[in-house]
Every structure is written in C-alpha cells, then in structure tokens.
Structure 1
Amino acid sequence: MLRRLTLAMAVAAASGLAWAEEPPQSLKRDLVSVYKDAVENNADLAAARADFAARQEVVPQARAGLLPFISGGAGYSDTDTEVDTRLGTTDASRGGLLYQASLTQPVFRADRWYQLQAAKAVSEQAALEFSATEQNLILQTAETYFSVLRAQDNLATTKAEEAAFKRQLDQARERFDVGLSDKTDVLEAQAGYDTARANRMIAEQQVDDAFQALITLTNRQYSSLEGVRHSLPVVVPTPNDAKAWVDTAAQQNLNLQASNYAVDAAEETLRQSKAGHAPTLDAVASYQKGDNDSLGFTNTPNASLYNGDAEQQSIGLQLSVPIYSGGLTSSQVRESYQRLNQTEQSRESLRRQVVQNTRNLHRAVNTDVEQVGARKQSIISNQSALEATEIGYQVGTRNIVDVLDAQRQLYSSVRDYNNARYSYIIDNLRLKQAAGTLAPSDLEALSAYLKPDYNPDQDFLPPDLAKAAEAQLLGNPEF
C-alpha cells in the first residue's frame, strides 16, 4: 500500500503535538478591541497629545502681545539728608508709601499682529500633525496585529513541515529496515527533519516577539487573537486608478496639509521680521498715590502746602521709531527668508514622496491581488507535485532527495500564500493612509472577516485546498 504524505495529514499531525495547544477562545481579542487598547494606553499617542496641547498655547501667547498690559506695585522709602550750611548742619527727612499702576495698550504693533497670524498657522499645523499621529496608530495597530497572525501562521506551517519531515524519516527507517532503501535515505530524511525542527524553534520565538510588540503598543497582555478568514475578499482598489488616488492624497494627506500650514507660518514670520523696521505706537496710562515726598512734589511751587497724601494720573501716546539696531532686524529678515525657503522645499519634497508612495502602494495592492491567487494555486500545484513524487519514490522512480525538495517547495508556497494575504491587507491600509482616508471604520470592516475560533494549526490553509490538490493530481480539467 502506498503511503503518500499529504498536506492535510501533516497539518493533522502537527495539530496534535503538545506545543500546539490553543488558548481558550474566551481570551481571544479582535482587531477593534486591540485598537481601543492602543488608543487608551499607547505612550507615543499620549506624548503626541501633550505636544499638541502645548503647541496650542502659542496662539494665546501671541495674542497677549496685542492686549493691554497692566502692572501695579507698591514701595516704601525713607531718606535722611544732612546739609552743612554757614548756620550749621541741617537734617532733612522724607519718604513714605507709594502705590502705582500702569496700563499699556498697543495701538500699532505690526510685528505682533503677524506673530499672531503665524501662531494660528502653527496651531493648525499641530492639529493636523496630531491627527496624522492618530491615523498612524490605526495603521500601526493593524501592522502589529497582523504581524502576530503572520507569525502564528508561519509557525503553523513550520509545525506541519516538521511533522511531514518526521513522517518521512520514519518511513525511510522502515524502508531501510526491510531492505528497500539504503542508509543514505535515512540520513537525508534525518537532516531534513533536524532543519525543520530548528526552523520551528525560530518560528516560536517570532510569535513571542510579535506578541511582545503588541504588548508594547497597547500595554496589555494578550493570549491569542482572532484570525482572518480565507473568505476575506481580495479585490483591486476602488477606484483602480492611480491618478485618482494621487489626487486624493494631494488634497487629504494629513502630513501634506500640515506642511501647507508650516509654509503659512513661515510666511507670517517673515512679515513679522520685516515689521521690525516699522514704528510702534502704544497708549500709556499711569496712576500713582502716596506721600507727597514719595511722589516727588517737594520741588514743585508751593511744595510746602503738600504735607499729606497725593495722587498723580497721566495718559498719553508713546511712539517709537526704530532707526538702527546694529543690523539685528535685517539679519532676522534674512534668516526668515531662508526659513521660508527651507519650509517650501520640505513641503515639495514631502509632496513628491506622497505621490511616490501613493503610486507604489496602488501598484502593490494590485500585485498583492494577483499574488494571493497565484500563491494559492502554487500550493495546489506543489501539493500535487509532492504526492506524485511520493508515488514515484514508492515505486523507485524518484529518490528521497526529490521527496524532500518537493516538501520544501510545498511549505515555502504555503508561507508565500499567507505572506501575500497579510501584505494585501496592510498595503490596502497604507494606501488609504497615503491618501488621507484611513479611519477606524477600516479596522471595523476588517473585523467582519475575523474568525473568533481561529486555530492557526488548522486554519492557516484554505479549507478547500486538499480537495483542489487531489483534483489536480487526478487530472481534473477544472484545475
């Protein structure tokens, strides 16, 4: 009786191993729940939120330069004076309490007005950059989540591969014992099994690393995640037009919009620097009350009449015309010109990068769509090739090396298929982020295709794969 090593048998054997135990389903978390954990606990988002709140304060700080400035104070002085005269020494003493208040209201301050406009632009820039950080967290959550699933599927594939090589080793030993093969077949099978076992250990570490990255992102512990159903639609972008996506990105990409406000802020800062050459006009009012001596009325006519408290008020306009400041203002204007040029060039560089990324990601999604179908078919073809090679080995037309190579090709195609699936999901999200349309609803849409009872050791392959491989092996024209 021929003993063909099918992929389904390897999966079943791998699923029965002790280290393939699945955590309780009640502990599984879905994509949206993980995203909510990230929003609540992600340290980078919290830092960005604090930075955004701090940068919002530039507006009231700049506006303060156009609002009244009021100050008040009090003081006490006691001055003794000795004067030598021809009649002798005369002592004089004066002093007392003094209360004073002043108000300054800018009337014409062009530099401060432009500073306020620049601050408003900076505030809008900060808001958009924070929104970009929030949007990036959506993508980061998806990337980290699906990295775990990718690592789990890779581990499941490696387990199945190890089980297949173990079965092949056992078969080679049985054939050697009955004289149907030589020791070389056993050694080749042993080498293949040892390599698969080592790869499985690495795959287990990669799963742990992927979970650790998720813990770092959310500050939450997870035992298992809901996996992706193979029924997830793999379709081309809508619309499937690169120019339409680029046009959307030019209008809605958050970082690009933020760079526009950065240019606006630089332009207003340049105007502020130029306004350093302009005159300033302030309305000034002051009030003082205190002892006659403290107010300094002693040198006025009839000063002796003021022997109690006195008050003094004044109001007026103060004009200041800058004439020469050692070249400071001119230097600041030149600096602002260069800062504006720098900001404009940075915006242009970002615009080109956004266009490039959008076009590349549009092509990537279309390629992923083709890849998923091609990789799935590759699994079917390699499964059929392996079974045919197994038959040839049993009847003596193929050797053990051919079987081992066919097995490696099969499991390599399985990994490629799963990688193509996850690449399709992530590239779709990246394309939406580049276009500025990525939102939490995209994660909710993906969650509709998550499987709560997903078991990587059983579900890393499409359910109809074995049937398709068998049909192709038998020469069914449908395949």
Structure 2
Amino acid sequence: MLRIVLFSTLSCACSLVMAQPAESSTTQNGLVAVYQEALNNNSDLAAERAGLAAQREAIPQARAGLLPQLSLGAQVNDTHMSLGLKQNDTLGIAEGRYKSDRSSQMIQANLSQPLFRADRWFQLQAAKAGTEQAEYQFSAAQQNLILQTAEGYFSALRAQDALATARAEEAALFRQLDQTRERFKVGLTDETDVLQAQASYDTAKANSSLASRNVQDAFQGLVRLTNREYNALEGIRHDLPILPPMPNDAKAWVDRAVAQNLQLLASNSAVDTAQETLRQRKAGHLPTVDAVARYQRGDNDAFNLPNPGVDIFDSPVSQRSVGVQINVPLYTGGLTSSQIREAYQRLDQSEQQRESMRREVVQNTRNYHRAINTDVEQIAARKQNIASSQRALEATQIAYQVGTRSIVDVLDIQRQLYNAVREYNNARYDYILDNLRLKQSAGILSPNDLLELSRYLKPDYDPDRDFLPPDLAKPISMTQRPSLRP
C-alpha cells in the first residue's frame, strides 16, 4: 500500500541520485544532497518515526489479551505455634505448654485461555486501525519533509536572487546619481534632480541591506532543517520547462487527492479506530468466557490436610483442576455506559475532523492547480515586462539627456524594471513550489520530484550573474556595474 512503499521509495530515489551524476546535480550543495541531510538529521521526522514504532506495539499488546496466560508461583511458610494448656484430668491433659513448628512448601501453575472476549477482540481491531493511521501520518511526514526541503532550498535561492536584483538596482541608481551630479555641475539640471536621485539611491541601498539579511535568514532555515551550515547553493537554470499541470483538469486532481491524500487517509483510519473503540466499549456489557487450568504440588501442610505436622499422607501432594469460567457484568457503577457515550462522541469528532480535512484537501488541490496555471502566465508576462521595461528605460534615459523627460521619469522606469525582475523570479519559484504542493495534496509527492528538479540545477550558479536569463540579464548584469562607493 501507499503508506508502506513510500519510505522505501524515498531511499531508492536517493540512491538513484548518487548513481546518475550525469543526469542531475549531486554536489553537497544540491537539492537532493540537502534533502538527504534533512532525511538523516531532521528531528521532526525522527520523532514521527519513533511515534510510529511505539504505535506498532499496540497490536501485540492488544493481541496478548486473546492469547493464553500462564503463570507459575511458589510459596514457603514457616508456622510456629505455642499454646498454654490447663490441667484436665477428664481429658488426660496435664498443665503445661504445647509447642508446634511446621513448614510448608507449594508450587502452582495457572493457565487461562480466553474463549469469548469480545471487548479484547475489538481492542485488537482498534489497535490495527490506529497503527494504520500512524503509518499514513508517518508517510505524510515524509512527504512534508520533501516539501519543507524544497521550500527551504528555493526560499534561499529566492532570497539570493532578490539580493542580486537589489544590488543591481542599487548600482544602477548609483550610476544615475553620479550622472545627475555631473549634469548638475555643468548646469544641465537643478539640485532637485540630484536630491531625487539621491533619495532613490538611499532607498535602494536600504533595500539591499534588508535583502542581505533575508538571505542569511533563509540559509538559517536550512540549518534548522538539516543541522548543517550552507554558504552557497546550486541555482535553478532558466531553461526549466514551464508547463501547465498534467492533466490540466482540476477535477481529475481533486479525485486523486480525495483518494490518495495521506492526511485524508489518516483521517479515514482515525474514524475506523473510533468505530472499533465504540464496539469495544459496547462489548463491556457482554459476558466473558475463559478456560482455566491449575496444577498445585506441595507437602501435607500446604494443602491443610488433617493432622497438621504429621505426615500421614504420601508427600508431595499434587492437585489438578480444569474448568470454564463465565463472568457476566451486571452493574459497574455506570462506567460501561459512560464509556459508550464517550466513544460515540469520539466517533462523531473523528468523522467531523475527516470531513473538515476532506474540504481542506479539495480546496488546496483546486487552489494549487489554479496557482500553477497562473504562475505559467505570470512567468511569460513578467519576462516580457522586463524586456519592455528595458527598452522603455533606454528610451527614457535618452529623452532625459535631451531634456524631454525628467529625472522622475527615469527613476520610475528603473523602479518598474527591477520590480519586474523581482516578480519574474518570484513567479518562477512559486511555479516550482506550487507544483510540489499540488503533488503533495494529491498524495503523489516523492523524492523523484526533487530528482527531476535537480536536473535543472546549475552547480556554478552565481546570483549576481544568473538571476535573469542571459538574453535579459546583459543590460542590467552585475558585471556591467561599477563598484559601489561607500
């Protein structure tokens, strides 16, 4: 079943990565390598694994109540008795004290076998359903780790690209400020233009500082996930295929999610557990039947035979008994009835939680499907917007040089250009993560998805150089900018 094979799929997929260096990136800073570190070191997953192992013990514990119970016991007693006697001539008793010292030994074995224990049978079924629920939850935790790894990884890349964009904008505005100062010196512009250029540059410089902190925060998130420090990551190439979800039918994805979403499957098992628990509580009104057997072996005194202290019987003495024991619960102070009422409410609670989960899964699946289609459109539109803004900036700068446009126009177009760059990169990362979230919602997310993404990673990725496609990056590349002055 899905919950059982998922973990082995994770391990096999990671092994395949190491066996295919030519097809995908497998360096220590790659996506799959980060996932492997998370798989080995993530404390949340380790806690889920321990919880699953603990829950699995509920099955043998419940089954034990249906199996034979055998016990062996022994007892050793020493008895000292001292009696004061009065003289009785009729009975021929002389005055004095009577003393008696006795010892007894016995061993016994008790065997019982439940013949009819409905409550214990339903307890076993509840344990099986609870274990199934735990297995689904562990598989869901594994999928969640895949998504968390991708979110952490691409959040760091997003932050790096945002920093590269902010630094490129800062450099462009510094260059614009420098040009405006030169124009002011020769009387081609007034001080207002210089102040506006200075204000825009100061804002860009502050934005760069904030973007730098965001990069550090994003990399720190990977430390929490993997317990390892990273200084650089492989970046995603710009030739990553940008395609609608397949199939591009929201209903098909919803149907798959309702059938395979791991959290929803866990909710189904929770309902099964509650149903079996209710049956167990109801069985508390039923009689119980056990087969019992006992074997005892000891000396005369252990069995309280006549003439204590005098061995008139052959020793040791043994006794065997076999029977059937029936217990009918008549009244337990209302405990069983209260437990049944509680079980009904627990069942209703689990059913309501399952319905809430189903609605959430349906909503998320539709939202992610819609988001991917929007991301595809956004990427194309933002890329075109960058090209258009570049041409508009070139034209506006020329117009400013000849005096037909103001510095405000130039600064506005520059702001639009770099906003378009940021939105383009955000749309790319949103597209990647929305695809993974859709697969998680449908219950089909696996390490193979990370393996596929790793084929489009660039080991020598430099955010300052690669934050845009080559055909768009050249006019605003960091390699084209002068050094920033303090």
Query: Normalising to structure 2: TM-score of the pair?
Result: 0.88
Give the AA of the match of 1:223: N
Q: Which residue pairs with 1:160 in the alignment?
A: 168
Q: Which residue pairs with 1:305 in the alignment?
A: 312
Q: Deviations over 1:162-213 (max 9, x none)?
A: 1001101110111111111111111111111111111111111111111110
Q: Which residue pairs with 1:78 in the alignment?
A: 78
The answer to whether the aligner puts 1:335 opposite 2:342 as a matched pair is yes
Q: How is 1:9-88 mapped onto 2 (pairs within 5 angstroms)?
A: 29-85=29-85, 86=88, 87=93, 88=95
Deviation at 1:317, TM superposition (A): 1.0
**Partner SS for 2:292:** strand
Q: Which residue pairs with 2:127 in the alignment?
A: 119
Distance 1:215 1:50 in 2: 22
Q: Which residue pairs with 1:144 in the alignment?
A: 152
Paired residues of 1:28 and 1:226 also in contact (CA < 8 A): no
Q: Which residue pairs with 1:12 in the alignment?
A: none
Give the AA of the match of 2:383: K
Q: Which residue pairs with 1:477 in the alignment?
A: none
Deviation at 1:66, TM superposition (A): 0.5
Q: Deviations over 1:227-269 (max 9, x none)?
A: 1111111110000000000000011101111111111111111
**Partner SS for 1:224:** coil
The answer to whether the aligner puts 1:207 opposite 2:215 as a matched pair is yes
Q: Measured at CA, do residues 258 and 26 of structure 1 come closer, stay the same or move farther in structure 2, by a change above 3 Å?
A: closer
Alignment partner of 1:104 out of 112, 119, 125: 112
For structure 2, which runs of at least 5 residues remain unmatched after alignment? Answer: 1-24, 477-486
**Partner SS for 2:306:** helix
Farther off after superposition, 93-102 or 240-249: 93-102
Q: Which residue pairs with 1:459 in the alignment?
A: 466
Farther off after superposition, 284-293 or 439-448: 284-293
Distance 1:297 1:418 in 2: 95
Q: Deviations over 1:362-408 (max 9, x none)?
A: 10111111011111111111112211111111011111111111111
Q: Deviations over 1:298-318 (max 9, x none)?
A: 379x98522632222211111
Paired residues of 1:237 and 1:362 also in contact (CA < 8 A): yes
Alignment partner of 1:224 out of 213, 220, 232: 232
Give the AA of the match of 2:361: V
Paired residues of 1:118 and 1:265 also in contact (CA < 8 A): yes
Q: Measured at CA, do residues 96 and 28 of structure 1 come closer, stay the same or move farther in structure 2, by a change above 3 Å?
A: closer
Distance 2:164 2:205 in 1: 12
Paired residues of 2:386 and 2:420 also in contact (CA < 8 A): yes
Give the AA of the match of 1:395: V
Farther off after superposition, 314-323 or 82-91: 82-91
For structure 1, which runs of at least 5 residues remain unmatched after alignment? Answer: 1-24, 470-479
Q: Which residue pairs with 2:366 in the alignment?
A: 359
Distance 1:39 1:121 in 2: 27
Aligned residues: 444
**Partner SS for 2:65:** helix
Distance 1:62 1:204 in 2: 56
Distance 2:414 2:310 in 1: 114
Deviation at 1:28, TM superposition (A): 5.8
Give the AA of the match of 1:68: P
Paired residues of 1:375 and 1:413 also in contact (CA < 8 A): yes
Deviation at 1:26, TM superposition (A): 11
Paired residues of 2:159 and 2:218 also in contact (CA < 8 A): yes
Give the AA of the match of 1:243: K
Distance 1:222 1:315 in 2: 71
Deviation at 1:287, TM superposition (A): 1.7
Q: How is 1:356-435 mapped onto 2 (pairs within 5 angstroms)?
A: 356-435=363-442
The answer to whether the aligner puts 1:261 opposite 2:269 as a matched pair is yes
Deviation at 1:341, TM superposition (A): 0.8
Farther off after superposition, 251-260 or 69-78: 69-78
Paired residues of 1:52 and 1:126 also in contact (CA < 8 A): yes
Q: Measured at CA, do residues 334 and 82 of structure 1 come closer, stay the same or move farther in structure 2, by a change above 3 Å?
A: same
Paired residues of 2:467 and 2:473 also in contact (CA < 8 A): no
Q: Measured at CA, do residues 345 and 27 of structure 1 come closer, stay the same or move farther in structure 2, by a change above 3 Å?
A: closer
Q: Measured at CA, do residues 250 and 27 of structure 1 come closer, stay the same or move farther in structure 2, by a change above 3 Å?
A: closer
Distance 1:432 1:405 in 2: 40
Q: Deviations over 1:435-467 (max 9, x none)?
A: 001111011111111111211101111111268
Q: Measured at CA, do residues 303 and 28 of structure 1 come closer, stay the same or move farther in structure 2, by a change above 3 Å?
A: closer
Deviation at 1:135, TM superposition (A): 0.7
Distance 2:474 2:288 in 1: 86
Paired residues of 2:104 and 2:298 also in contact (CA < 8 A): yes
Distance 1:67 1:26 in 2: 52
Alignment partner of 1:326 out of 325, 333, 351: 333
Q: Measured at CA, do residues 466 and 253 of structure 1 come closer, stay the same or move farther in structure 2, by a change above 3 Å?
A: closer
Alignment partner of 2:356 out of 334, 349, 355: 349
Deviation at 1:284, TM superposition (A): 1.1
Paired residues of 1:82 and 1:92 also in contact (CA < 8 A): yes
Paired residues of 1:115 and 1:268 also in contact (CA < 8 A): yes
**Partner SS for 1:325:** coil
The answer to whether the aligner puts 1:436 opposite 2:453 as a matched pair is no
Q: Which residue pairs with 1:277 in the alignment?
A: 285
Distance 1:27 1:125 in 2: 37
Q: How is 1:189-200 mapped onto 2 (pairs within 5 angstroms)?
A: 189-200=197-208
